[in-house]
Amino acid sequence: MKSNIRSIVLSLSRTFAGATMLALLFGLGVIAQAQSVEKAETSQQARAQDSELDRAKAITTKPGENKPSKPETGRTWGLYSTVTTLEIGHRFVDTDGSLDRYLSDVNVRDGFRVLDYSLDMRAQPGTGLLFDFLHADVNNAGGDQNQTFSLRLDKTKWYRFDSNVRRFNYYRSPGPNFALGYRNHDLRQQVSDYSLRLFPQRAVRINAGYSRSMAKGRSNPTYYYERDIFQMFGNTRWEANDYRLGIDATYRKWDFAAEQLYRNFRNDPGMTSRPGEDLGFNPTDSARITLLDRDMPQRARSLVTRASVRGSIADRLHVVLRGLRDDERMRADYYEVSSGRNRSGVTLVSNIIQLLSPGGIVERPSNRFDAGATLDVTKNLSFSNTFNYNSFKINGDMLLQTTAVTQPTTGPQVTSVTRNAATAYITDQTSYQNTVEMNLNFGRKFSSNLGWRTQHRDVVLAGIFSTPTSAPSASNPLIKNEEESINTNSFIGGFRVRPTDRLSFMFDVESGQNNNAFVRISPLDFTRFRVRAQIQATDKLGIIGTFTSTDRTNPTPQVLNESDSRSYTIAFNWEPKQRVMVDAGYDYNDLFATGNIRYTLSGQRFFGQSLYYARINSIYVNTRFGLTSRLDLLMAYYYMMDRGAPSVSLAVGDLLNAYPLKRHNPEVRLAYRFNNNMTGNLSYRHFSYNEKEFAVQDYRSNILTSSLRFTF
Amino acid sequence: MRTLKLILVLSFAMAVASPFISTKVAAALTASKKPSVEKADAVPQSKQAQPVDASQYVGSDSCSECHGAESTHYALTAHAKTKVLNAPIDKHGCESCHGGARNHVDFYLNIQKLNEVGKEDEATALMNDTAKAAAANLKSFSKMSSAESTATCLKCHEGSQGNAEERFNYRRSEHARHGISCNDCHSSHAPKRTEFLLKNTEPNLCYTCHAEQKASFSKPFHHKVPEGGMKCSDCHNQHGGFMGKSLRNSVNGDSACVKCHADKQGPFVFEHAPIKTEGCQSCHTPHGSTNPKLLTRNLVRFLCIECHSSTPGLPGEPVGNQTSASHDINNPRYQNCTVCHVQIHGSNADRRFFR
């Protein structure tokens, strides 16, 4: 407790020091900044709301009335108010240092881009022919790390269609050593969703949807083979397709919804050896790979049925019920052929590892039921109860056969066959949770809540993993059945005070036990609380301060796990006029975790503690200055520093882990408005990354982007 | 065990049943103390049950004569669509939310007329008559408690007419619990984005309260929120839901993570059990981290060993079997468990996740 108080006081003092530093930086006018300065609003964009109002006036003006002023951007096309923007540009990237690390982190590359495209069309309410509203968006198309595409359109009473496609380019650095990886990948992941709702404002609605998630690309995975590690060529390709159809309806005060979903998932990862003989990462041992080819296709399907009801009884009791039934099934194959030398130095003519028919089979039925009820006793007092039930059972079977053909130094080839079987390999969980709450409010100025959460959970792991050649027995089940059952309780409380319209103060706390029973570091006693003060000093200046604290401990004496987190944040937003905006904040995040561990070091078993520290200071500032009526200067600065561990004395067996690093990212952009329809942009972004212990991963990069933005 | 289950079921049944009893009692008490009109005001009416007293409504055109900017902007928002719908409440435009404006309009028209005929003193006196002015006031959301304000919106928006189930559980959500009303994020009259009537775009809107998350997302490893590839509402249901921390479910009830990371969902013959029982957050921190792969520890081996160091004599001792003595962490190959245990999220061919 004392150490907690000390750490709070210490951290508070650091917070104020940080805030002071921030103020000084402002005073000296040193800071220029913004993380995504390319996407920051210019003065003209900040006026878009006014412009939109002008367009609205143009639409709603009745014959004979004075014609409204012409909006700055956009136009009126028949009964549609439209705004179209297109920003095209080119990026020039210069990187110094670890390119791998840069690609893992920033991954912005040279090239031409459609940085932004949007089309917004709105009809006078109820008058569109095919649609009343249409909005299309494209961001960073053409090769950036994150690309998004979206389209939304609707026609009142008839339909609403939403779609979005997001594409991510993920690069993972192999890292400088084993501890940090020695594996990499370069993937393109795409997540998309299409949703159609028919008759959205009518009593009965029909919903249809399709979602797709996929990834593909190349990788260099590591592979454990004959007690050595080898780096391979790998291919990743998986995709999940969801199809859904549902109906929802409103009858009197009740809403009903039901949906059926079908998902299929396919995964076709492949792995092959590098050309020539691979010595592995331990060239002094005997293991070698001269050829390896592996395929492990997986196919899964899932049928999900969900239904819900919501309604009110006597306008005081509000009830919601939701049920979900999921039936999943996975089938996996595995085929690997390799040749080389085994760990004993014997030549492997061929080594075939395969799942025998019908392959790995897994079934997972699961059920979820949620219910909630709120009773408004008076205008100021209500009671709520929420109940959740969740259960699933994963039942897997597989039979793996290894056929090794070896060539001893003398004599004929030897063939050996071994089989490993897993039967009725079960992961089973059933959990219940009930939360009772009371909410009390007195007008706008004060609201509070008190609650109690009770949880119960059963977890069972069971199954037999054995080699059929030696029949399973009491001495031969290679896995034991494991069962855990746990009850936990926690208290929830909080309040919000708004003494004036400009000041809000919030406090909330949750204390008790967590349901994380299965990991060894549990059951967890935890206390989490947040304090937040928001001050709207003027109409143009808002300030927020937040303190968040989470303490988790394990009450079991032998384990002695502890995990603490403190976060102190202060931020403000000042926008005195459309041409000036400053948004800045400072955050200090202090993380500490410890746990008893057992490990082997230099051939000796040790029992000690792992000690993890992160002391992270973050500063961000975003600004916009309209230097003239046409020229905007947008700046941003993001700085993050993890100071790692403080100086601590370690006992024998203790292991310290921390990862001190620094990253800073200043950005500046000049936006010149040639006229209301065209703006030229020139932006510069710099990223600098420094690790204290692995300087080989440091990088610095400069990104220059020039673009033209058209609005019409 | 069965007893506990029984208690849980009974407690829920009691919780559901008790409101009926309380309702009767409260109704009886209210009936004895208050006139029926007040009773109707005390609790929000559902959309269909909205009382329609035609004489109290003047129509949106009257509103636009004085409140031109609001009225004009309103024409571009989704709310304007209610004009073409059929429910009684939908016929009333501005008055659907602000209540019948007959008294309000009459009051200010009287003042205007008095001014026009030169009776400025009478007009001023009427203006200063606080009782009459108060009676003429419309429902003002800036003066309501968060519960009242929210209840007004939920009259139409609690149901499935938006996205199915999106707001079903709002009354028991984290935001509602903390006194956040719809108007804290949405603006009917001056939204930054007319789509969803948001006061600001995501994630900036969320940062206005959750400022600490902006710093989290500036860490070297983060979900792609600052880059615009994701937004807070992809993982969190700001309107509630049934998961802790307002998290969304995937369609089959699993955590929202597998919506994008579908290859980690399985099911697998050999599950790494904590992933299914505790969730991805056992090992990963979702917003941002200084550790690669958003892990909760900077080196993989520490993360693994903290569980895989079973202490003899503890309940559930086999859980998290300790590492073998051959795993000497002085040896580089044992410094990162997932270099060998590559299928750490689950495997169909190897219970130790080698393949």
Q: How many Cα atoms sit within 13 Å of A483 on the Cβ side? A: 4
Chain A residues within an 8 Å CB radius of B355: 223-224, 294, 296, 334, 336, 353
Say yes or no for a CB contact (<8 Å) between A56 and B76: yes
Residues B217, B287: Cα–Cα separation, whole Å: 6
| A-contacting residues in B 292-351 (Cβ below 8 Å) | 292, 296-302, 305-311, 313-316, 318-320, 322-323, 325-330, 332-333, 335-336, 339-342, 348-351
Give which of A276, A170, A267 is closest to A231, Cα–Cα: A276
Q: For position A542, what pLDDT does the model report? A: 93
The two structure tokens encoding residue B150: 């929210």
ipTM above 0.90, yes or no: no
Minimum distance, in Å, between the CA of residue A279 and any CA atom of chain B: 14
Q: For position B34, what pLDDT does the model report? A: 39
Residues A376, B19: Cα–Cα separation, whole Å: 9
Q: For position B328, what pLDDT does the model report? A: 84
The two structure tokens encoding residue A565: 């987190």
Q: For position A9, what pLDDT does the model report? A: 53
Bridge partner residues of A267 (DSSP): A238, A298
Name the pLDDT band for A290 (thresholds 50, 70, 90): very high
Give which of A44, A9, A180 is closest to A631, Cα–Cα: A44
Name the pLDDT band for A32 (thresholds 50, 70, 90): very low
State what percent of residues in chain A have pLDDT above 70. 87
Say yes or no for a CB contact (<8 Å) between A379 and B147: yes
| A-contacting residues in B 73-132 (Cβ below 8 Å) | 73, 75-76, 80-81, 83-85
Residues A616, A587: Cα–Cα separation, whole Å: 8
Q: Hey, is A424 helix, strand or coil? A: strand
Residues 6+ apart with CB under 8 A from A283: none
The two structure tokens encoding residue B79: 């709310």
pLDDT at A88 over 50: yes
Minimum distance, in Å, between the CA of residue B28 and any CA atom of chain A: 12
A281, A546, A602: residue with CB nearest B328: A602
Q: For position A483, what pLDDT does the model report? A: 79
How much is the average pLDDT of A287-312?
93
Name the pLDDT band for A64 (thresholds 50, 70, 90): low
**Pairing mode, if any, of strands A446-466 and A414-442?**
antiparallel
Q: How far apart are the first and last CA of chain A?
A: 62
Q: What is the DSSP letter of B282?
A: G
Q: For position A22, what pLDDT does the model report? A: 38
Chain A residues within an 8 Å CB radius of B330: 601-602
Say yes or no for a CB contact (<8 Å) between B76 and A368: no
Say yes or no for a CB contact (<8 Å) between A380 and B145: yes
Residue to substitute from A248, A375, A393, A705, interface B, most B β-carbons within 10 A: A375
Whether B267 contacts chain A with CB within 8 A: yes
Q: For position B300, what pLDDT does the model report? A: 84
How much is the average pLDDT of A469-493?
73
pLDDT digits (tens, 9 = 90+) for A685-702: 999 999 988 888 899 999
Q: For position A477, what pLDDT does the model report? A: 57
Residues A436, A448: Cα–Cα separation, whole Å: 14
Concatenated DSSP letters of A2-63: HHHHHHHHHHHHHHHHHHHHHHHHHHHT-----TTGGGSPPHHHHTHHHHHHHHHHHHHPPT
Chain B residues within an 8 Å CB radius of A330: 266-268, 348
Q: pLDDT digit of tens for each residue in chain B (355 aa)?
A: 454 444 444 444 443 343 333 334 334 433 444 333 333 333 333 444 445 566 778 888 888 888 877 777 777 677 776 655 555 555 677 888 888 888 898 888 888 888 888 888 888 888 888 888 888 888 888 888 888 888 888 888 887 655 667 888 888 898 988 888 898 899 887 776 667 888 888 888 899 899 889 888 988 889 989 888 889 999 999 998 888 888 988 877 788 899 899 999 889 998 888 888 888 988 899 999 988 889 988 888 888 888 887 655 444 444 456 677 778 888 777 888 888 899 999 999 988 899 8
Q: For position A5, what pLDDT does the model report? A: 57
Residue to substitute from B72, B217, B301, B310, interface A, most A β-carbons within 10 A: B72
A52, A308, A532: residue with CB nearest B165: A308
| A-contacting residues in B 136-165 (Cβ below 8 Å) | 142-148, 158-161, 164-165
Note whether A206 and A199 are within 8 A (CB).
yes
Say yes or no for a CB contact (<8 Å) between A380 and B229: no
